[in-house]
Chains A and B, each alone.
Chain A
Amino acid sequence: MNILKFFTAGSVDDGKSTLIGRLLYDTDSILADQLEALQSSNRKNDDGTIDLAILTDGLRAEREQGITIDVAYKYFQTEKRKFIIADTPGHIQYTRNMVTGASTANLAIILVDARNGVVEQTIRHSYLVSLLGIKHVVVCINKMDMVDYSESVYTNIIDRYKTLAQQLKLKDVTYIPVSALKGDNIVQRSARMNWYEGESLLHFLEKVDTDNLDQSQLARMPVQWVIRPQTEALHDYRGYAGRVLSGTFKLNDKVTILPSGASSTIEKIEFFEQAPEAAHAGQSVIIHLKDDVDISRGDTIVNASALPQESKLIEADLCWMDARALDTSIMYVIQHNSKTTKCKISEILHKVDINTLEKHQADEFRLNDIGRVIIKTADALAFDLYDDNRANGSAILIDSRTNLTVGALMFRAAVE
């Protein structure tokens, strides 16, 4: 059995939390005591039925205001698969929390209110989905109960979205008309929309391919920790502990250590009392090398015949996530896997207007702004382009004054 990680996106009140509540409810994933708490809660739908959104709106402020503020993670499983869901907020003010939920997912559910169609937040979130390289997108046209389950309403909206999807180069998009409130097409196919020939949302989620394990040749392992027991019995023991980001390492593979550029060969792979012949993407292991090279946290072990890029000047897409605007005159810290180094944003190339998706000149970057920048780092980074290798093509920016995470970076090119 494998895991599918997905998240819900869309504008405020489009029904993201309700949809997740409905999925959990209709798959019988809500336990009796939680249900009891729901029933005794004073937040109810107009017709007196329980409000499924409060299953994920776990904070007092969220329940009071009837909105989602921060990501909630929910878990359920069917006979076919395990699911990790991130319910993200629709409010523009909390976009950074939406990005948090999206960054680890491999599928996005974008909700559109059938009465309103594609709105600004739909475009913004769809743009973020394309920027973050989320593989699969399911567009749920929600609240179909409020438009008499009308096929033409549905068709009009998906025609509009298809144009957007093309603009954003979203490749794999599926459309489903639903009512999260009434449960139409969520777990069971709805009898009220016979004109719809596709499958229910759950059915689709159960069979969409996940391959969240990267099978590329780009073998990379950032060293997190060096294991040196320094006991008498293990006097010379020196193991490099880390999680394989991508690709596969095998015994006797030639590897390069970056940034030093030193080369060596894999002598042994260890995983808690086992010595497997290979370490694959996603696995946390210990690697031993044949040569005595100087390696510490922040270094990356890579396949010698498929080297990443190395540069101190990188072109990247930036999502700004702090209330304090970007300051191009100060130094920030960039964290790229286990490596941290100082950096500056040396140039803002453009900002993207979220309504028109047009690029325009800008000299400031404020909360929720998205655009392209050039970043200059103190130490060179060994990275891949985000589209080739998400795990080694992303980084965060930290403001040393506050220690807050202020930006998400997706590497697009090394600047010559």
Chain B
Amino acid sequence: MSTYNFDYLDELEAEAIHILREVAGQFEKPALLFSGGKDSITLVRLAEKAFRPGKFPFPLVHIDTGHNFQETIDYRDQMIERIGEKLIVGSVQQSIDEGKVVEQTGKNASRNALQTVTLLDTITKYEFDACIGGARRDEEKARAKERIFSVRDEFGQWDPKRQRPELWNIYNGKIHTGENVRVFPISNWTELDVWNYIRREKIELPSIYFSHQRDCITRNGQLMAASPFLNMDDDDIVINKQVRFRTVGDMSCTAAVESEATLIDDIIAEISASKISERGARMDDKVSEAAMEDRKKGGYF
């Protein structure tokens, strides 16, 4: 008998590394979808643990809505420089310019929904057969239902009624031409697990995750960063607030939370005490009870 230290973070980490290596072993052209958020940053660290000193067996793919926080883009570029891996950018602006999608109008306009088209186009263009993403099952109740290897049809659609059985730690990645698999290595992590891991691994994050001063307006009871991407009118009053972001997406759909948390420890304390879920800060999920399920059926992550 040997005893050794293997706590829950080690177990989650080992599971994620195993999944990443299965992707490498089973697919011809995988990709890692990198959003610039903490979950995909965690995925990059896990990929380093899975494949170093070798190179990643996949490029990183960023679907750029054109409405990003500048801090995210800066972080992305510095990170790519540091890890020396390939980055592919799929541009929502380009999809708009090519007439494939139409910019939403009105007060709640966001490019979040449009990115699905750009994502699917990018998958087709590069013939990706597997896309690794940082979605977690604790985020949302439709996500709680999804397999770790989630097969999508030619149109990127998820069919929740026809999911393959997924047994033990054996992942079936066999697909027909045109289909692809979305792979979620951190399915079993919670938001708090991710933060504890970031603290343990001393992973650097974009500065917007930490408390800072920012001009905001209030929309549907939530604080939104005032930016040229937000359709504002005279009713919107800009106020400067001490805020941070709990999840990072498109500027027009990610709400800020008032926070004094400047260190990871503060953030962990804040989340542990918080009574609001991470997705509570996403306007895109507020639309209806089945908002996420419907978007996934349409090809969204």
B172 touches A335 (CB 8 A): yes
Contact of A34 among B24, B50, B168, B277 (CB under 8 A): B277
Contact with A along B136-152 (1 / 0, CB 8 A): 01101111110000000
A100-B166, A215-B2, A405-B165 as given contacts; A283 in contact with B14, CB under 8 Å: yes
B225 touches A (CB below 8 Å):
no
B233 touches A (CB below 8 Å):
no
B17 touches A (CB below 8 Å):
yes
B144 touches A82 (CB 8 A): no
A60 touches B293 (CB 8 A): yes
A46 touches B (CB below 8 Å):
no
B11 touches A3 (CB 8 A): yes
Complexed CA–CA distance, A3 and B9 (Å): 10
A100-B167, A215-B1 as given contacts; A84 in contact with B188, CB under 8 Å: yes
A403 touches B (CB below 8 Å):
yes
Query: Can you name the residue of chain A whose Cβ is closest to the Cβ of B12?
Result: A3
Q: Which residues of chain B come closer than 8 Å to A72, judged between CB atoms?
A: 141, 144-145
Chain B: minimal CB distance from A50 (Å): 14
A405 touches B145 (CB 8 A): no
Contact of A31 among B145, B165, B275 (CB under 8 A): B275
Docked complex: A84-113 residues within 8 A CB-CB of B: 84, 96-97, 99-100, 103-104
A403 touches B14 (CB 8 A): no
> Do most interface residues of chain A lie in helix, strand or loop, or is the interface mixed?
mixed
B52 touches A272 (CB 8 A): yes
Docked complex: B157-194 residues within 8 A CB-CB of A: 160-161, 163-170, 172, 174-176, 187-188, 190
B172 touches A403 (CB 8 A): yes
Stretch among A158-166, A193-201, A236-244, A259-267 lining the B interface: A236-244
Query: Can you name the residue of chain A whose Cβ is closest to the Cβ of B167?
Result: A103
A58-B144, A280-B4 as given contacts; A75 in contact with B137, CB under 8 Å: yes
Contact of A70 among B2, B4, B25, B145 (CB under 8 A): B145
Centre residue among A32, A58, A215 by max chain B CB count within 10 A: A58
B7 touches A (CB below 8 Å):
yes
Chain B: minimal CB distance from A132 (Å): 9
Chain A: minimal CB distance from B296 (Å): 10
Number of A-B contacts (CB under 8 A): 175
Complexed CA–CA distance, A394 and B172 (Å): 14
B274 touches A56 (CB 8 A): no
Chain A: minimal CB distance from B300 (Å): 15
A396 touches B (CB below 8 Å):
yes
A404 touches B (CB below 8 Å):
yes
Chain A: minimal CB distance from B2 (Å): 5
Centre residue among B6, B7, B170 by max chain A CB count within 10 A: B170
Complexed CA–CA distance, A333 and B137 (Å): 30
Query: How many chain B residues have a CB neighbour from A under 8 Å?
Result: 60
A224-B18, A283-B10 as given contacts; A99 in contact with B24, CB under 8 Å: no
B166 touches A394 (CB 8 A): no
A224 touches B22 (CB 8 A): yes
Contact of A398 among B50, B52, B140, B174 (CB under 8 A): B174
A278 touches B2 (CB 8 A): yes
Q: Which residues of chain A come closer than 8 Å to B293, judged between CB atoms?
A: 58-60
Contact of B165 among A41, A61, A97 (CB under 8 A): A97
Docked complex: A337-380 residues within 8 A CB-CB of B: 337-338
Chain A: minimal CB distance from B135 (Å): 12
Chain B: minimal CB distance from A250 (Å): 9
Complexed CA–CA distance, A3 and B280 (Å): 26
Q: Which residues of chain A come closer than 8 Å to B140, judged between CB atoms?
A: 58
Chain B: minimal CB distance from A377 (Å): 15
Query: Can you name the residue of chain A whose Cβ is closest to the Cβ of B294?
Result: A60
B55 touches A (CB below 8 Å):
yes
A58-B144, A72-B141, A234-B53 as given contacts; A396 in contact with B280, CB under 8 Å: no
Chain B: minimal CB distance from A141 (Å): 27
Q: Which residues of chain A come closer than 8 Å to B276, judged between CB atoms?
A: 31-33
A58-B293, A237-B53 as given contacts; A280 in contact with B18, CB under 8 Å: no
Contact with A along B105-140 (1 / 0, CB 8 A): 000000000000000000000000000000001101
Given contacts A227-B51, A284-B13, could you give 7 more A-B pairs where the C-beta distance is less than 8 Å?
A: A31-B275, A31-B276, A58-B142, A75-B137, A243-B21, A280-B4, A395-B170
Closest 7 CB pairs of A and B: A58-B141, A33-B280, A284-B17, A224-B21, A403-B174, A32-B275, A227-B54
Please give the residue numbers on chain B whose beta carbons come within 8 Å of chain A beta carbons, in ascending order: 1-2, 4, 6-8, 10-11, 13-15, 17-18, 21-22, 24-25, 48-55, 57, 137-138, 140-145, 160-161, 163-170, 172, 174-176, 187-188, 190, 274-277, 279-280, 289-290, 293
Q: List 5 A-B contacts (CB under 8 A).
A: A69-B161, A225-B24, A225-B25, A243-B14, A280-B2
